[in-house]
Structure 1
Amino acid sequence: MNGIITLAHGAGGRQTSELIESVFKAHFSNPSFTSDDAAVLDFAGGKLAFTTDSFIVSPWEFPGGNIGKLSICGTVNDLSCMGAKPLYLSCAFVIEEGFSIANLEKIAAAMEETAKEAGVNIVAGDTKVAGKGQCDGVFITTTGIGRVMDGASLSGANARPGDAVIVTGDIGRHGCTILLARNDFGITADCTSDCAPLWGTVEDMFAATKNIHALRDATRGGVGTVLYEIASQSGVGIRLNSTAIPVSGEVKGVCGMLGLEPLYLACEGRLVVFASKDDAEKLIEVLRRGKYSQNAAIIGEVTEDMPGRVVVETEVGGETLLPPPGGELLPRIC
């Protein structure tokens, strides 16, 4: 792979996938290497899920959370999306010289509170200090281990024609919140990040039905990128109903002013669920009773047509192809 790294390589879209395939997979490939949110590994007592993630959000604090809360939620949710109960986390800090200790303590307190809610322990870590200007305030890397529930098999390759596509709440809220927090456009709106730990949501769904085939949290690149990833991994098509996709008024307004597509704005507390159509309404009923999923909705279905593509049925009854993810929309959102 020639060229240089751009911000688009970290956005979670096509360039990210190409980078992983051409560089990392080319050098790291082994039977356990995965493109899913976490690797599922055999051990004597069953299966473990193992994942790691880095967080470089700017600004480090935003309505609804901060980089500390985000770092716990991101790793807990990646484990949860493999059907694994999160057990233990490690965290590594890169802190810029001159960063306030009071702000660092605020970040640590948010991590403590979120880890407690998620039922995980932070058991190890590392601290490095970078020179002034060598990083933007503070970067955090978290690594997590969880125990996979019996019967859970949630690889992105498992979506099936006829499956319902469900989102567990209104979309694009985190990306919109970060955009507004930067104040680059002079826009004000009452928008709060959806950042939340989702193991309880996953546990509730599996208590209702085991007919869940694939599960993803829609972080970088939003719901649209997740849909394209699953369509590619599973070799299926996906058809969406545009009128069924839940988007808050605040996010709609900001997207309308800036010409953004809510499907490609990041979420940090929303799951995309691929499940048997027969169980979809049961899942919606369960989700709407949950703390973080009261706006859950069925937004489409998996099809045999146009494998690897996502088609959107418009409000007037026509169909259009959702443009494949690419480029850089909002840098530094997670």
Structure 2
Amino acid sequence: MSRISLAHGSGGTETSKLIQQLILNRVPDWMKNLNGGVGLDYPDDSAALPIPGGYVVTTIDAYTVSPIFFPGGDLGKLAAAGTINDLLMLGGRPVAVLDAIVVEEGVEMAVLSRIADSMLDILRNEGVCLVGGDIKVMPRGQLDGVVVATAGIGFASKLIVDKNIEPGDKVIVTGPIGEHGAAILAAQQKIESSEFKSDVSPLTRLMLPLIESYIDEIHAARDPTRGGVAMALNDWAKSSNNNIIIHESEIPVREPVANLCEMMGVDPLSLASEGTALLAVSPHVAEEILERIFEMGYRDARIIGEVREKPSSLSLVVLKTLIGGSRILEPPSGEIVPRIC
């Protein structure tokens, strides 16, 4: 690779290769993990640093969504919710956020105010403190609008680490997939319809009760943002050294989203969700956990598949199709939807 392309930021195979080449290949093993924690040795939504009695969970992300304001949310809401959700997926209870805002000269103050208000509304409602930050201004034409970067801090007594997935585990998705990606795609294509609305939302009220009651039975958790469910499941298969089988008939995709994807030539399994969790749980409590998720208002949650021992050296995700066939669900590749989060 000689130059960076938009595909390198899409969350698919090009992103993984870029991270591997640019960072992971350069970092010696001793730097990848603070002893007893989770770091670059098992890349996940967050990292964890051991402390007496538990872990400090931390995450960092940058948000460049276009348009800045979209049906269901905006850049500020996305940054706050996304940071909170990344902490939750490792088993952390979010407590604090820091943010850095980079803004182009000439952006209206009303735009920044609206972004800040949205971010603070989410943090306030979730009981998360904003403890620091930074702001930079770039000359006109050297940045497109606004970029928000956030770092999040949480605490966990135990961690949810993807490599702990076991054969027999059931895969649960807590709501319809691809909602955020479809909303951004429709907005970018100037498709005006009330059918498309981002699901961007913090998952605190879903995940904290599940963590409290089932921490030993939840073997993996992911909010399938860039790269969607397809990328998350392929990451899981690779990190746990297993195969994952999913059933197309059980995957919740709203009809308008499915129709948009068909029209645009996009797989909904590769579209981002920003208010949906993907869980791998012990089979003997899968139905119980699903019922608990229903009780918390996530009525579209489904068990969509299971983890199996792999019969070969390859770790694969296999999709059982609606017509009774099977196909390998590859990690997404290429430019899916630019500036989606």
TM-score category (smaller protein): over 0.9
Distance in 1 of aligned mates of 2:307 and 2:125: 34
Distance in 2 of aligned mates of 1:288 and 1:76: 22
Q: Deviations over 1:19-71 (max 9, x none)?
A: 11111112344141321111110123521111100000000000110000000
CA RMSD of aligned residues (A): 1.4
Partner of 2:198: 193
Q: Deviations over 1:111-139 (max 9, x none)?
A: 11111122201110000001112112110
Secondary structure of the 2:245 match is strand
Is the CA contact (8 Å cut-off) linking 1:180 and 1:189 kept in structure 2? no
Is the CA contact (8 Å cut-off) linking 2:202 and 2:275 kept in structure 1? yes
**Residue of 311, 320, 323 corresponding to 2:327:** 320
Partner of 2:19: 20
Secondary structure of the 1:78 match is helix
Query: Counterparts in 2 of 1:159-174, with a 5 A limit?
Result: 159-174=165-180
Partner of 2:308: 303
Worse-superposed segment, 154-163 or 39-48 = 39-48
Q: Which amino acid aligns with 1:326?
A: S
Secondary structure of the 2:295 match is coil
Distance in 1 of aligned mates of 2:127 and 2:192: 37
Secondary structure of the 1:22 match is helix
Distance in 2 of aligned mates of 1:145 and 1:231: 27
Distance in 2 of aligned mates of 1:252 and 1:92: 36
Q: CA deviation at 1:316?
A: 2.3
Distance in 2 of aligned mates of 1:187 and 1:200: 31
Does the C-alpha gap of structure 1 residues 187 and 308 become closer, same or farther in structure 2, counting only changes over 3 Å? farther
Distance in 2 of aligned mates of 1:204 and 1:295: 18
TM-score for the superposition, normalised by structure 1: 0.95
Question: Aligned pairs, how many?
Answer: 329
Partner of 1:277: 283
Distance in 1 of aligned mates of 2:123 and 2:183: 23
Partner of 1:65: 73
Moved segments of 4+, more than 6 Å: none
Q: Deviations over 1:59-97 (max 9, x none)?
A: 000011000000011111110000000011000000111
- Structure 1, unmatched stretches of 5+, are none
Q: CA deviation at 1:317?
A: 1.8
Distance in 2 of aligned mates of 1:157 and 1:122: 32
Partner of 1:261: 267
Worse-superposed segment, 200-209 or 35-44 = 200-209
Distance in 1 of aligned mates of 2:135 and 2:294: 40
Distance in 2 of aligned mates of 1:328 and 1:194: 22
**Between the two proteins, what is the percent identity of the paired residues?**
41
Partner of 2:160: 154
Query: Counterparts in 2 of 1:118-133, with a 5 A limit?
Result: 118-133=126-141
**Residue of 59, 67, 74 corresponding to 2:82:** 74
Secondary structure of the 2:115 match is helix
Worse-superposed segment, 261-270 or 308-317 = 308-317
Distance in 2 of aligned mates of 1:112 and 1:187: 28
Query: Counterparts in 2 of 1:170-189, with a 5 A limit?
Result: 170-183=176-189, 186=191, 188=193
Distance in 1 of aligned mates of 2:331 and 2:153: 32
Secondary structure of the 1:288 match is helix
Partner of 2:339: 332
Q: Are residues 1:7 and 2:10 paired?
A: no
Distance in 1 of aligned mates of 2:192 and 2:292: 36
Is the CA contact (8 Å cut-off) linking 1:189 and 1:250 kept in structure 2? no
Q: Are residues 1:92 and 2:100 paired?
A: yes
Secondary structure of the 1:27 match is coil
Is the CA contact (8 Å cut-off) linking 1:208 and 1:283 kept in structure 2? no
**Residue of 44, 49, 56 corresponding to 1:48:** 56
Secondary structure of the 2:26 match is helix
Q: Are residues 1:145 and 2:160 paired?
A: no
Q: CA deviation at 1:183?
A: 2.5
Q: CA deviation at 1:314?
A: 1.3
